[in-house]
Structure 1
Amino acid sequence: MAIVKSSVPGMMFIALIALPWLVSTWFYSAGRVVWECHLDFEMLVSSPDQTAERTLGSYSQFFYGNNLGFSRISGRKVRTLKNGQTRVHNFNRFIDFKYVQAGPYLKNKVTKVTRKQGDTLDDDQHLAFMSPPGEDVYVQVLKLGPSTYSFGRLGMPRQICQGRQGWLMPRLR
């Protein structure tokens, strides 16, 4: 009985120290990046009118626990015209989006696209992984391991994603 009485103040002391940390971790967890996807890509498009377009770039996505996220895409697009002239454009953009899980898919809605310094690509030129604001994009998700997933969009290279503690999609098998 004496052991129980002497351990109660120690337990209360430990609880008073640990409880604020546990509460703050739970409260602020929605603002943390819980999934990250990174992809370096190269795309070559040839058309019947003898023009070619080569795009080299890097694409990253960051998913927050509160169903918001952003993407970063940067690189260079080289276009060869029929007459042999070459046009080079740089792109550097940030995309804000909202996402929800829809079965084995993620439904992303682009909310804002921001051009950053050095972006010389016209808005009317198509860019891989980019959608205009307001458009819904469905991404298929495949589980590869305990905290590793593969994200894929129709006609685009697959992304390998790493997560923390399986917060985003714990029910996928």
Structure 2
Amino acid sequence: MTAAKSSAPGMMFIALILVPWLVATWFYSADRVVWECHLDFEMLVTSSDQRVERTLGSYSQFFYGNNLGFSRISGRKVHALKNHQTQVHNFYRFMDFKYVQAGPYLKNKITKITRKQGDTLSDDQELAFMSVPGEDVYDQVLKLGPNTYSFGRLGMPRQICQGRQGWLMPRLR
């Protein structure tokens, strides 16, 4: 009976020390998504010969705590041809990337692009937000709130990103 009474406070003391560390490890695990960015977009391009190209899509980025991430882009590209006909191409792609903070910018390097089933857009056609593997892409970062940022790339719509404060942009607090 005496041994049971003396071990209970010791177990309670050990639990009070270990539980916060276990919770912190679970919350701030490097393989969890710590930032997400989402953007629905529409782009309209008219060429000098009066051909029109319209792209409708959705673009998302997911950043892990270990400086790795992936993007997914999907949608439809419609070409209006001179003879009043249209060509429609679907695209479904995933891009793996590495990222680092570079001052007020975020530098992404695409490591791999994967085309998914149903992607009918040829590789020679340009697609918004797409880069070739190995290319460095710089996004400017603007803090909007305690855990909300806006990412912008030259000539592209801004993405709104949310995540845990301090993980991705600790210097911008």
Give TM-score scaled by structure 2 length.
Answer: 0.90
- The corresponding residue for 1:46 is 46
Structure 1 position 117 matched with structure 2 position 117: yes
Structure 1 position 25 matched with structure 2 position 26: yes
Structure 1 position 9 matched with structure 2 position 6: no
- CA distance, structure 1, for counterparts of residue 141 and residue 20 of structure 2: 36
Distance apart, 1:81 and its partner CA:
1.2
1:92-103 equivalences in 2 (<5 Å): 92-103=92-103
- CA distance, structure 2, for counterparts of residue 21 and residue 130 of structure 1: 39
TM-align CA RMSD: 2.1
- CA distance, structure 2, for counterparts of residue 157 and residue 142 of structure 1: 13
Q: Which amino acid aligns with 1:71?
A: S
- CA distance, structure 1, for counterparts of residue 36 and residue 54 of structure 2: 26
- The corresponding residue for 1:69 is 69
List per-residue Cα deviations over 1:96-154 (Å, max 9, x = no partner).
00000000000000000000011000000000000000000000000000000000000
Q: Once the two structures are aligned, what percentage of the paired residues are identical?
A: 77
SS of residue matched to 1:98: strand
Q: 1:104 to 1:46 in 2, by over 3 A?
A: same
- CA distance, structure 2, for counterparts of residue 152 and residue 34 of structure 1: 19
Q: Which amino acid aligns with 2:90?
A: N
- The corresponding residue for 1:83 is 83
SS of residue matched to 2:19: helix
SS of residue matched to 1:144: strand
